Amino acid sequence: MHIGLIGLGKMGFNMRERLRGKGIEVTGFDRNPDRTDVANIEELVSALPAPRIIWVMVPAGQITDAVVKDLSEALSEGDLVIDGGNSKFTDDQIHATLLAQKGIRFLDCGVSGGVWGLENGYGLMAGGLQDDVERAMPIFDALRPDGDRAESFVHVGDVGAGHYAKMVHNGIEYGLMQSYAEGYELLEAKDIVKDVHGTFAAWQKGTVVRSWLLDLLVKAVQEDPGLSKIAGYVEDSGEGRWTVEEAIANSVPAPAITAALFARFASRQEDSPSMKMVAALRNQFGGHAVKPAEPKPE
């Protein structure tokens, strides 16, 4: 099998290497001349045997929109586009409709595994028609970990379902990370606890909170005790917000995921206006002491 791959960043580059290692020929395109195999999308399309399969691995939103539009003009009837980025599920339906006007097939695929996917394989969640999923199965099997397919791949449902599942996956991830982080801070704050790193390490086997995220936490603390090299500023890439929006739209209570998302927002405030108001109100109604503001450097 010979496929095209657009986007050779942290994820796409490793995916190309894993696919090649599993016997799938890959021609990649990226704007970075040090990583790309071809000069442009037209050259990529020309290099692939028809009917073509092209996997798109670029940032969600306008960049994915532009790539799908370019492919709709460059590909032919019967070709297949797979969006493996973190697109919003509603965008998948727009992209599928655009490509269908030219007879081009479309799948969305949520991908989990991060920078470790090259070595460990990726968890995959596909959305689209069964025939298209079967056609792309050699690719999915090459990307996922060895072993039972059902433990690392699922055909979730129709177009958009794969990215919807990945969105919920990432929302759960927000909550898990926040829980580990709060436990870490509590252990660090208690004077009787002398070995925080060892405590987390001792949870890695046999306990109900063991997980790959816990393993990564232990690794992070081992490499940087006290996390002195890292600022307490946390971005969000969109999926957590979309998960909360969907929870509201479907009247599903999701307090842990929502709180984890808001905690990320709080991490970006040097001096939270809302917390300043809470302190002011406590002072007003109860005479509670307030901490004077730090003078700003000139």
pLDDT given at position 272: 66
Catalytic residue (choose from 166, 245, 276, 291):
166
Alpha-carbon span 193 to 153, nearest angstrom: 41
Predicted confidence (pLDDT) per residue in 100-149, tens digit: 999 999 999 999 988 889 999 999 999 999 999 999 999 999 999 999 99
pLDDT < 50 stretches in the chain: none
Q: Which amino acid is at 177?
A: M
Please indicate whether residue 173 is annotated as part of the active site. yes
Q: What is the pLDDT of residue 96?
A: 98
Q: Find the catalytic residue in 17, 43, 173, 246.
A: 173
Cα–Cα distance for residue pair 200/187, rounded to 1 Å: 10
| Rounded-to-integer distance, Cα 106 and Cα 92, Å | 9
At 197, the amino acid letter reads: H
Distance in angstroms (rounded) separating the CA atoms of residues 75 and 57: 17
Looking at residue 297, its pLDDT comes to: 58
Sequence-distant (≥ 6) Cβ neighbours of residue 147 within 8 angstroms: none
Q: What is the CA radius of gyration of the chain?
A: 23
Edge to edge, the sheet with strand 123-127 lists: 25-29, 2-6, 53-56, 80-83, 105-112, 123-127, 153-157
**80 contacts 135 by C-beta, under 8 angstroms:** yes
pLDDT score of 215: 92
Q: How many CA atoms lie within 13 A of 208 on its CB side?
A: 0
Phi and psi torsions of 98, nearest 5°: -60, -45
Q: Supply the pLDDT for residue 285.
A: 75
| Inter-residue long-range contacts of 267-272, CB under 8 Å, 24+ positions, other chains counted | 267/232, 267/233, 267/234, 268/233, 268/234
Please give the model's pTM, rounded to 2 decimal places: 0.89
> Cα separation of 126 and 139, whole Å?
12
pLDDT at 268: 81
CB atoms within 10 A of CB 188: 12
The rounded distance, in Å, linking the Cα atoms of 217 and 229 is 15
SS3 288: coil
Does 134 qualify as catalytic in the annotation? no
